[in-house]
Structure 1
Amino acid sequence: MIEIYSLEQMKMIRNQKRIEQQKEAADSGISTAVVFGQIVTIGDYDCDYHSWKHFIVAQIVRLGFQRYVSLTGWDINELVDDLAGNADPNDDIWLDDAKDYFNAVEANY
């Protein structure tokens, strides 16, 4: 018997599958986030992004500064200063944005 799902049910199933994939990746030591519905990896030479900062910079470029600032509530001057700074590229400020706005899941080390 073929079951027909509503659009809402399909979205829910897809979201649950994504959550499970991200949990599996985290359990394997791989950090992930979601960009345009696709899971991307963060944190190693063979990942999509080398660090959380690298990931966030890519999202800023993709979205544009103004849109990113509007999305996250950052003060644009503070964001520019933090991007230009020498802080650890895996600092919590980048991870927090990734979690809050891009469904990031940190690896279980």
Structure 2
Amino acid sequence: MPREIHVTEPFALGSRHFGKGTHLVTEAEARHPFFEPCYRAGRFTVAVTVEAGDLVTAIGQLNPKNSEHFTKAGLPEVKALSEVAGRAVTAQERDAAWAAFQAAKGSE
């Protein structure tokens, strides 16, 4: 399940860069040993654990064959995801939720 974090001081984890603001991280990222020292140093705060009823489930409600729901690159369209989720979704949130959705799908 993705976790929502609020970044107060930008940092990078592997190839992902976290600027100031709100981001979704996957469970694997949340368990990464790098996160604990960053959390203790005050670089981010954990806002909430995003419930399954949020973005990951919303992605599952989109139709992969509908060009208004998915980009040509195969990613969920932010606009369609926002409509299903009932709130504005950023591309960064979509990317994190998509990674979690794909990981969950692969483990089935």
Q: TM-score scaled to structure 1, two decimals?
A: 0.22
By percentage of residues, which structure has more helix?
A: 1
- Higher strand proportion: 2
